[in-house]
Amino acid sequence: MKGTKFKIDEFESDLIKATGLEITVGRIVEEEWEEILGPTPMPSVTDLRKWDFALLNRYKPMYAPLCDLCCLCTYGKCDLSDGKKGACGIDIGAQQGRIVLLACCIGAAAHGGHARHIVEHLIEEHGDMPIDMGKNVEVEAPLVRLIAGIMPKKLSDLLEPLEYAEGELMHSLSATHTGQEGYFTDFESKALHVSMTDQLLMEIADVAQISALGFPKGDPGAPLVDIGFGSIDTKKPVILCIGHNVVPGAEVINYLRDHDLYDKVEVAGICCTAHDLTRYDKGAKIVGPLSKQLQFVRTGIADVIIVDEQCVRADVLQEARKTGAAVIATNDKICLGLPDRTKDSPKDVIDNLLGGAPGALILDAEKVGEVAVRTAIKLSETRKRRALNVVKEAKKCIQCGLCIRECHNNLDIPRGMEKAAKGDLSLLSEIYELCIGCGRCENVCSKEIPIVSLLGGAAKEITRKERYKVRSGRGPIQDTEIRNVGSPIVLGEIPGVVAFVGCPNYAGSSKEIAEMAEIFLSRRYIVTTSGCAAMDIAMYKDEEGKTLYEKYPGNFDAGCLSNVGSCVSNAHIAGAAIKIASIFAHRNLRGNYEEIADYILNRVGAVGVAWGAMSQKAASIATGFNRLGVPVILGPRGAKYRRTYLGRPDKSEDWMVYNARTGEKVQISPSPEYLLYVAESKEEAIVSIAKNCIRPNDTTKGRQIKLTHYIDLHKRYFGKMPEDIAMYIRTEADIPITLKAEIMKILKAEKWEPRITPDPTLLERLCRKKEVK
């Protein structure tokens, strides 16, 4: 009910007499939710600052500036090196915090813009539909409940938390203005804050599209769908969707269905839009992750390219021109300088595109569907796909070496060219496998060789066979799945939860992420994934020709691989951690962020891995998980985010918690050791993942199995027993039984003393008894 105002002219009781009393009420809501409202519904920028400081006190930000100048205002450039301050007074620490905050704001804004668009669009198109996350999902939107303190029932209920997040984003972003915040931990606190709202925004977007578009609803058996260049039928007209917002792509499918064209046109996607297209219709194809964008556009297979939002190459229009494909921009975030044809008749727009216009901006998804399909059908009849003569092009190379110097991954393109010029394409083909598809080599090539196209041309035989299976995004984790794993976790049968997420900016082979996933799957960890990482996990087959999705079931369970979906589906991974607190400990979620984050940090042995994190969204996603108490491990390129959150195991005073049973402060093992950590190699990451699943609440059986894997992996990759093992043994019962003799010897040498296992918390208010002094 909208606001109301009422007036009491005269009121008199024994205590009070009032005249001309006016009471205004903003909104009247009918409420069926009995849960008590926690201390921080819709927290402001500073409401959770204390929690942030508790985290930052243990996990101190470590900065590795890419640049020690500040160029953000006209005072600058200001040199901030060697303790110098800028003209505004800022020092290098605060400046790094500021840049991190800026990145997180950009990331949250991208999800926020997406969420705003999709919620409004879906309400307009489908009406105010009820929120439905499927059977066995009692807590429909854990983050909305936790952060906003409301229980959404229908799509329009998502507008209030959306508005809240937008407001927080504005406050957070404003703090980066010159002359605002001046201290690094406060910048970090704001980064944590805006990244928390980022999680909220992701959840809002995915909950809305799952409810309204009929995506799988927490279904472990979501269909296996095709992924890879080779899965696309190039004989048909091909429409390629790039980005993250499924709405225009879904309208393409609707148009095909409505006009009996469903089997006649291929609809394929790159990046998260592709995931969501398969969630909408299992017949849609996934080309691959973001790293395949330039490669695939260059193949000329697509007749029409639809771009929506986020992670779309800025030069997509120029690239499409080279192949004769038409580009349709569909979202206010990406207009590409194209004329706005939203109000024009489809026929006019199609004629224009067929007549050679490079593209059109159409901000009406339904119209996009029609224009894309009709244009693609026509264009496919006339457009010729040009074949590239790799050898001839390679012969142009003069071995200047500028390309290898420009390459992120130092790929030896000159030698590849040299061999190719002699007719041997093997090295270029190998380089293709390692290429992240950025195209910077071409910018510097003194002979203007289309290097990326050559790589693709050399690997043509491989790419043609690139056909794999990925499980379509299932959405949320069912409550019953969480219950199922409770007992095996405490009995020491499941060592932890590992989430592989993020972009494909790898320092090595994209196969590494699948290799890592398989190691933890075969060790019966719970493995979950999303986004581009979920795609790269699919692009790897074992000796029997099976992908991991065909080999391991899609449940949230030991030795299972669950793909939650696109970037915005990351919210369900956070949601699963949150639900553990409500399911096992009956902790209230409603507006109760700090207590739940404390619960997760101290009890839920989950680790996020963003092996190829690239974007600002990946920064805010990781930081959002950090505030919730989940450690994140980044791949080598993650160092370029310039900031990590590292614990110091050598400082025992940093590893104290309250024992909620007694109120006493007690020592714990340094776990999780990091909140945000950059691993330099796959091996380092694997060992670190196993180690960071350790939590202070572990039962002795749980600790045994976690240590068994940590030690086994450490021995396997580093050839010896980890040096810090004694720190992780609380009692003899924690020692893996097969290693008892070996470890007892170490404990003796280190004069080890047993410790208790507390009911751990960083929040004094949660203690049952106060400390007796």
Partner 1 sequence: MKIPVDVSVVHEGERIRKEDMYVELGGPKVSSKGELVRVRKPGEIRDGNVEVEGPDFDKLKEGGRYPFAIFVEVAGKNVEEDLEAVIERRIHDYCNYVEGFMHLNQRYDIWCRLSKKSYERGFNTLKYLGQALITLFKAELPIIEKIQVTFITDEKKVEAFVNDARKIYEARDARARALSEEEVDTFYGCVLCQSFAPTHFCVITPDRISLCGSINWFDGRAAARVDPKGPNFAIPKGELIDEVNGEYSGVNKVVKERSQGETERFYLHSIFNFPHTSCGCFESIAFYIPEVDGVGVVHRDYIGETVLGVPFSTLATQTGGGKQVEGFLGMAIEYMRSPKFLQADGGWNRMVWLPKSVKERVIDDIPAELRDKIATEEDATDIAALKGFLKERGHPVVERWREVEAVEVPELEVMPVGAPGGIKIILQNAKIHAEKVIIKKIK
Residue from 446, 768, 770, 771 binding partner 1 (CB under 8 A)? 768
- By C-alpha distance, which of 772, 715, 773 is closest to 743? 715
671 binding partner 1? (CB under 8 A): no
Q: Per CB under 8 A, does 551 bind partner 1?
A: no
Check residue 224 and give left, alpha or beta (phi > 0: left; psi -120 to 50: alpha).
beta
Question: Of the candidates 120, 160, 664, 712, which one interacts with partner 1 according to CB under 8 A?
Answer: 712
Of residues 66 and 585, the one with the C-beta less far from partner 1: 585
Q: Where are the alpha helices (DSSP H) in 471-547?
A: 479-490, 511-522, 531-538
The verdict on 30 binding partner 1 (CB under 8 A) reads: yes
Q: Which is nearer to partner 1, 499 or 743 (CB)?
A: 743
Q: What is the sign of the dihedral through the CA atoms of 80, 86, 92 and 97?
A: negative
CB atoms under 10 Å from CB of 586, counted, come to 7
Is 356 among the residues that bind partner 1 (CB under 8 A)? no
| Alpha-helical regions (H) of 130-229 | 142-143, 159-174, 184-213
Q: Indicate whether 544 belongs to the interface with partner 1 (CB under 8 A).
A: no
Rg of the chain (C-alpha set): 27
Pairing mode of beta strands 760-761, 526-530: unpaired
Stretch that binds partner 1, among 135-143, 507-515, 649-657, 674-682 (CB under 8 A): 135-143
**Residue 236 CB, nearest approach to partner 1 (Å):** 38
CB of 43 to partner 1, least distance (A): 14
Task: Tell whether residue 681 is a contact of partner 1 (CB under 8 A).
Answer: no
Residue number with CB closer to partner 1 (140 or 281): 140
For residue 23, the number of C-alpha atoms closer than 13 Å in the C-beta half-sphere is 10
705, 725, 727, 762: which one binds partner 1 (CB under 8 A): 705
CA distance 169 to 42: 12
Q: Which of 702, 727, 729, 762 binds partner 1 (CB under 8 A)?
A: 702
Of 80-88, 253-261, 371-379, 700-708, the segment contacting partner 1 by CB under 8 A is 700-708
Distance CA 626, CA 645 (A): 9
Q: Which of 480, 509, 667, 681 binds partner 1 (CB under 8 A)?
A: 480
Query: Which CB atom, from 553 or from 559, has the smaller least distance to partner 1?
Result: 559
Cβ 436 to partner 1 shortest distance, Å: 33
**Other C-beta atoms within 10 Å of 578: how many?**
28
Q: Which of 178, 234, 342, 484 binds partner 1 (CB under 8 A)?
A: 484
Beta bridge partners of 659: 760
| Binding string, residues 729-748; x marks residues near partner 1 by CB under 8 A | ----x--xxxxx--------
Helix orientation angle between 570-585 and 184-213, rounded to the nearest 10 degrees: 90
Q: Number of residues in contact with partner 1, rule: CB under 8 A?
A: 62
Q: Which of 559, 640, 649, 752 binds partner 1 (CB under 8 A)?
A: 559
Q: Which stretch binds partner 1 (CB under 8 A): 27-35, 570-578, 624-632, 641-649?
A: 27-35
Q: Report in angstroms how near the CB of residue 204 gets to partner 1 at its nearest.
A: 22
State the nearest-atom distance from the C-beta of 250 to partner 1, in Å. Answer: 28
Instruction: Work out how close the CB of 104 gets to partner 1 at its nearest, in angstroms, rounded to a whole number.
Output: 29
The side-by-side arrangement of strands in the sheet containing 760-761 is 665-667, 656-659, 760-761
Structure tokens at 535: 């795609």
Cβ at position 205, least distance to partner 1 in Å: 24
- Applying CB under 8 A, does 762 fall inside the site for partner 1? no
Stretch that binds partner 1, among 103-111, 342-350, 640-648, 699-707 (CB under 8 A): 699-707
- CA nearest 371: which of 383, 356, 388, 354? 354
Residue 699 found at the interface with partner 1 (CB under 8 A): yes
Q: What is the 3-state secondary structure (H, E, C) of 667-733?
A: ECCCCCCEEEEECCCHHHHHHHHHHCCCCCCCCHHHHHHHHHHHHHHHHHHHCCCCCCHHHHCCCHH
180 counts as binding partner 1 under rule CB under 8 A: no
Whole-angstrom distance, CA of residue 395 vs CA of residue 713: 47
- Contact set for partner 1, span 594-653 (CB under 8 A): 603
Q: Are 627 and 193 contacting, i.e. CB atoms less than 8 angstroms apart?
A: yes
Q: How are beta strands 17-25 and 4-12 bridged, if at all?
A: antiparallel
CA distance 424 to 744: 58
Binding pattern to partner 1, positions 566-605, x when CB under 8 A? --------------x-xxxxxx---------------x--
Residues whose CB falls within 8 Å of the CB of residue 275, separated by 6 or more in sequence, listed in order: 269, 286, 472, 473, 530, 531, 534, 535, 563, 565, 566, 569
What secondary structure, in 3-state letters, does 390-434 show?
Answer: HHHHHCCCCCCCHHHHHCCCCCCHHHHHHHHHCCCCHHHHHHHHH
| Nearest residue to 59 (alpha-carbon basis) of 632, 560, 518 | 632
For the CB of residue 101, give the shortest distance to partner 1 in the complex, in Å.
29
Number of neighbours of residue 251 by Cβ within 10 angstroms: 22
CA distances from residue 676 to 154, 642, 732 in whole angstroms, order as listed: 36, 11, 30
Q: CB of residue 486 vs partner 1: minimum separation in angstroms?
A: 3
Q: Rule CB under 8 A: is residue 753 a binding residue for partner 1? A: no
Q: How far is the CB of 584 from partner 1 (least distance, A)?
A: 4
Does 697 contact partner 1 by CB under 8 A? yes
Find the part of the chain contacting partner 1 (CB under 8 A) among 192-200, 234-242, 369-377, 473-481.
473-481
* Helix, strand counts (H, E) of the chain: 28, 23
Could you say which residues in the range 196-215 bind partner 1, by CB under 8 A?
none
Span of 109-117, 223-231, 625-633, 692-700 interacting with partner 1 by CB under 8 A = 692-700
Does residue 482 bind partner 1 (CB under 8 A)? yes
Q: Which is nearer to partner 1, 591 or 635 (CB)?
A: 591
With contacts defined by CB under 8 A, name the span among 134-142, 323-331, 502-510, 667-675 that binds partner 1: 134-142
Query: How many CA atoms, within 13 angstroms, populate the side-chain half-sphere of residue 99?
Result: 20
Binding site for partner 1 (CB under 8 A): 17-18, 20-26, 30-32, 34, 135-138, 478-480, 482-484, 486-487, 489-491, 522-524, 559, 580, 582-587, 603, 660-661, 697-702, 704-705, 708-709, 712, 733, 736-740, 757, 759, 768
